[in-house]
């Protein structure tokens, strides 16, 4: 698939130094090549393309852009494209990761000039998120007339879905709190969560 290399190189050069281009092999699920490496991945590494399942679900084979968060705190905008053989079979996946943080920082910088000393209402973050958990669980219980300890697997799955949707699991130590609120074990909670994210990642 060295066929695609020039394309990758061109894209990488165009967007350097803020974009990384990765070419994945569909067959072996491995990284074929990386241009402008940022994420630390190298050729030969497993692709970890959970997305491959979904790749057939887009009409034009292009996915994203969607947001990623790297370990060191950069925000990436990421797009993928399925590359096909002449016979139409998917053979490779091209991913471009663009680091948004420099742009954002430039934006805040410019904003400093543009805006004339704005007031700062800055609504606070949800402080007592454990209450939130309790309330979401409570609401479900109420609607279904079943006390927490008698919820079925499906019930809990639904509640976990709601909590996930509400972004609860982005909070530190949330799983312990949720598991306890749901009267279940850490193990089971993770199982539910995995099941959930399998169906809608």
Least distance between a copy of itself and beta carbon 100 (Å): 9
Cβ-proximal residues to 133 (8 Å cutoff; 6+ apart), any chain: 163, 168, 174, 177, 178, 181
Quick one: 117 or 187, whose CB is closer to a copy of itself?
Answer: 117
Cβ-proximal residues to 33 (8 Å cutoff; 6+ apart), any chain: 5, 8, 22, 23, 43
| Alpha carbon distance 196, 201 (integer Å) | 8
The binding track of 56-95 with respect to DNA, each residue x by CB under 7 A or -, is ---------------x------------------------
| Alpha carbon distance 50, 73 (integer Å) | 22
Quick one: 84 or 135, whose CB is closer to a copy of itself?
Answer: 135
Quick one: 9 or 70, whose CB is closer to DNA?
Answer: 70
Cα→Cα distances 182→85, 146, 176, 188, Å: 49, 12, 10, 10
Quick one: 28 or 134, whose CB is closer to a copy of itself?
Answer: 134
- Residues in 13-42 that interact with a copy of itself by CB under 8 A: none
For position 142 contacting DNA by CB under 7 A, the verdict is: no
Q: Output Rg (C-alpha) for the chain, integer angstroms.
A: 22
Instruction: Classify 85 as helix, strand or coil.
Output: coil
For the record, the structure tokens of 91 come out as 């053979």
Least distance between a copy of itself and beta carbon 71 (Å): 7
Instruction: Classify 152 as helix, strand or coil.
Output: coil
For position 201 contacting a copy of itself by CB under 8 A, the verdict is: no
End-to-end CA distance of the chain: 29
Quick one: 82 or 178, whose CB is closer to DNA?
Answer: 178
Among residues 56, 147, 199, 201, which is the contact residue for a copy of itself, using CB under 8 A? Answer: 147
Q: Which residues bind DNA (CB under 7 A)?
A: 71, 153, 156, 169, 172-176, 183-188, 190-191, 193-194
Interface contacts to a copy of itself, rule CB under 8 A: 69-75, 101, 104-105, 107-109, 111-112, 115, 117-118, 120, 122, 124-127, 129-130, 132, 134-139, 141-143, 145-148, 162, 165-168, 170-173, 175-181, 183
């Amino acid at each position: 698939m060295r066929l695609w290399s020039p394309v990758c190189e061109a894209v990488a050069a165009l967007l350097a130094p803020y974009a990384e281009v990765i070419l994945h092999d569909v067959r072996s699920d491995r990284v074929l090549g990386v241009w402008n490496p940022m994420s630390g991945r190298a050729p030969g590494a497993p692709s970890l393309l959970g997305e491959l399942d979904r790749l057939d679900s887009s009409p034009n084979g292009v996915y994203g852009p969607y947001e990623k968060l790297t370990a060191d705190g950069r925000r990436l905008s990421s797009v993928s494209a399925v590359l096909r053989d002449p016979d139409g079979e998917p053979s490779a996946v091209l991913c471009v990761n663009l680091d948004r943080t420099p742009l954002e920082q430039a934006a805040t910088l410019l904003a400093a000039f543009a805006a004339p000393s704005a007031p700062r209402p800055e609504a606070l973050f949800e402080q007592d998120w454990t209450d939130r958990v309790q309330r979401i669980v409570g609401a479900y219980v109420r609607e279904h007339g079943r006390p927490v300890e008698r919820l079925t697997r499906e019930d809990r799955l639904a509640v976990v879905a709601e909590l996930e949707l509400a972004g609860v699991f982005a909070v530190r130590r949330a799983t312990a709190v949720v598991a306890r609120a749901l009267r279940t074990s850490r193990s089971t909670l993770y199982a539910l969560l995995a099941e959930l994210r399998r169906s809608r990642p």
